[in-house]
Amino acid sequence: MRKKIIAGNWKMNKTFEEGLALVTEIIGMTKDEYSGSAKVVLIPPFIHVNAVSKMVAGNANIQAGAQNCSNYDSGAYTGEVSAGMIKSCGASYVIIGHSERRQYFNETNSLLASKTDAVLKNGLTCIYCCGETLEEREANHHFDVLKKQVSEGLFHLTAEQFENVVIAYEPVWAIGTGRNATPEQAEEVHVYIRNLIKELYTAEISENIVIQYGGSVKPDNAKELLNQPNIDGALVGGACLKADSFLKII
């Protein structure tokens, strides 16, 4: 049985103080109201990861993550952060291949495959993002685009490694636009991705993999999206920056 994962991607938002205040609020609110039926992952900017990890340490349902990592282990790569460093800061998850990384930092599927390797090698869970642009959807190319992103980024992994992979389907046209995919559109893609995994790996692996939806998830659309049988959680951007909206989604 797949447990839902609700992850909050802060992107480049929150000063240190603002971030810690948000985490304090989330921890406080989840104590009273939250049943633990979903896993929660807080994904701040790198520089807050250690402090956030410490704050959630010991909380069985909340973990910390990072938004990106280097494909290298160490060395002269100014400005980069390795998966090993993220692990040593106490985080458990790393987002790989967010569309903003693909779009603004030219990250390719082959680079993302090596970043995924770095994440898994360090015993972290990879949240691998995929999603089509509006043009690709309108041209009805979305399934081809998704197949390429998922297969080139992930299909070199062994069946065992797949246990530490989460996939996030995030249509680019739905990110930060207020326009979410309909539950039916998202469900259709999630079934498609699950079948791709089934074809190459096993039915068991495809049934166990968590596939999150992301793109304008808000308190008022989360329930309908998360009620779809193949939507196993959400990767939340804007709505995770306030404790009350994030908690409503959880």
Binder to ligand PGA among 130, 215, 221, 245 (CB under 6 A)?
215
Tokens of 119: 């994440």
Task: Give least dist CB 12 to ligand PGA, A.
Answer: 12
Task: Give least dist CB 18 to ligand PGA, A.
Answer: 17
Task: Give least dist CB 181 to ligand PGA, A.
Answer: 11
The phi, psi pair for 150, rounded to 5°, reads -70, -45
Q: Which residue is nearest to ligand PGA, using beta carbons? A: 237
Task: Give least dist CB 204 to ligand PGA, A.
Answer: 28
The answer to the question of residue 176 lying near ligand PGA (CB under 6 A) is yes
Compute CA distances 37 → 34, 54, 169, 178, 233, whole Å. 8, 22, 21, 27, 11
The answer to the question of residue 175 lying near ligand PGA (CB under 6 A) is yes
Sign of CA dihedral 212, 177, 104, 144: positive
Give the torsion through C-alpha atoms of 175, 181, 246, 20, to 10 deg.
Answer: -20
Which member of 100, 170, 187, 190 is catalytic? 170
The answer to the question of residue 107 lying near ligand PGA (CB under 6 A) is no
The footprint of ligand PGA on residues 154-173 (CB under 6 A) is 170
Is 170 noted as a catalytic residue in this protein? yes
Q: Fill in the DSSP letter of residue 122.
A: T
Is 98 noted as a catalytic residue in this protein? yes
Taking alpha carbons only, the member of 143, 144, 112, 114 closest to residue 128 is 112
Contact 225, 217 (CB under 8 A): yes
Give me the residues that bind ligand PGA (CB under 6 A), please. 9, 170, 175-176, 214-217, 235-239
Catalytically annotated residues: 98, 170
